[in-house]
């Protein structure tokens, strides 16, 4: 049985003349009527979980959605789950599910970049493609997936790369694992080894994201220190930061609060090869952890999971 868990986002929106812009409007039934091809995926079970813009979902709401998805993967008869979701935080939600939910049952995230009021609404195609992937037996064991504009991406690698283009998602730290063309699912990569699931029980840990700029003196880092449990710093290039921010970084480390270094660039990773003052290598020598092959949003979630589970940030 295929379970579709409707959560909102642009795919549920249409233009509201009185408001002067796009607002949530369509529930699961309305989307099913707009995409009649979904009815071919019987048996089919639908659920209206939320109808929220993606940026309204707090860490607590993310965890609640993750918990519902985990429950569904254990429900007898459910062989695949499709989650229509707002694109702004779709990749983060997919990463959370990929890190914390048993991968046996595929959980396929999708959405749209255009509303039902716009020409060439991409929601119907993406929903149908996601259903096809979730029903495909070869998706089992792959855990969270993102299906968008014909691309199939691992939920641990997917990232939103464009603010408005319908082909908005890619895997800047990985690779595309398949495609859906003319209704046919084609896998280009076999399932690989997955990291052990994070054993957190919540997303209650508070993690800041700080972007040091040229001439930075660490003021924002110091302001955040008493209010947050950890921080992800977005350095230039390979993770280099202005030297004026180093004393503030050292204060975080002295307080026993983890500091993770990511790159603000969309591709590539922070590294330890630059050892000048403020270089990524000089920070690693002080005890800063590298984000690894993760986007800044993924690195923040990973640190939240590590803090909640009482573990170190994984390399």
Give catalytic residues, as residue numbers: 10
Polymer length of the chain: 315
Please report how the helices 90-100 and 296-309 are oriented relative to each other, as an axis angle in degrees rounded to 10: 40
Q: Are 159 and 172 in contact (CB under 8 A)?
A: yes
Neighbours of 298 (CB within 10 A): 26
Those residues whose C-beta lies under 8 Å from the C-beta of residue 222, and which sit 6 or more positions away, are 248, 251
Strand partners, 261: 233, 290
Q: Are 146 and 153 in contact (CB under 8 A)?
A: yes
Containing 94, the helix (H) or strand (E) segment is: helix 90-100
Angle at 177 between CA 171 and CA 178, to 5 degrees: 120
Those residues whose C-beta lies under 8 Å from the C-beta of residue 58, and which sit 6 or more positions away, are none
d(CA 23, CA 10): 8
| CA-derived radius of gyration, the chain | 20
What letters, b where the CB count within 10 A reaches 16 and e where it falls short, cover 42-60? eebebeebbbbbbeebebe
Neighbours of 248 (CB within 10 A): 24
Containing 260, the helix (H) or strand (E) segment is: strand 259-263
């Amino acid at each position: 049985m295929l379970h579709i868990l409707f959560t909102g986002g642009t795919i549920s929106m249409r233009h509201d003349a009185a408001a002067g812009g796009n607002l949530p409007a369509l529930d699961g039934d309305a989307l099913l009527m707009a995409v009649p091809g979904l009815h071919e995926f019987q048996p089919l079970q639908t659920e209206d979980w939320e109808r929220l813009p993606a940026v309204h979902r707090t860490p607590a709401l993310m965890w609640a959605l993750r918990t519902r998805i985990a429950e569904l993967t254990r429900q007898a008869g459910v062989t695949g789950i499709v989650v229509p979701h707002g694109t702004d935080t779709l990749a983060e939600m997919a990463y959370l599910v990929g890190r914390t939910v048993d991968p046996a049952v595929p959980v396929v995230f999708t959405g749209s970049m255009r509303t039902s009021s716009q020409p060439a609404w991409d929601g119907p195609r993406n929903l149908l493609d996601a259903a096809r992937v979730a029903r495909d037996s070869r998706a089992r064991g792959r855990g969270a997936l993102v299906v968008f504009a014909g691309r199939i991406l691992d939920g641990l690698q997917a990232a939103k790369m464009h603010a408005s283009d319908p082909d908005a998602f890619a895997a800047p730290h990985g690779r595309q694992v398949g495609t859906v063309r003319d209704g046919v699912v084609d896998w280009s990569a076999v399932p690989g080894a997955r990291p052990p699931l994070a054993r957190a029980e919540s997303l209650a840990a508070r993690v800041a994201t700080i972007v040091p700029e040229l001439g930075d003196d660490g003021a924002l880092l110091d302001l955040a220190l008493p209010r947050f449990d950890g921080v992800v710093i977005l350095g230039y290039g390979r993770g280099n930061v202005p030297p004026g921010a180093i004393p503030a970084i050292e204060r975080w480390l002295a307080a026993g609060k983890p500091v993770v270094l990511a790159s603000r660039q969309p591709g590539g990773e922070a590294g330890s090869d630059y050892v000048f003052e403020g270089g990524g290598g000089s920070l690693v020598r002080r005890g800063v952890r590298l984000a690894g092959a993760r986007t800044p949003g993924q690195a923040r979630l990973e640190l939240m999971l590590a803090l909640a589970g009482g573990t170190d940030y994984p390399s």
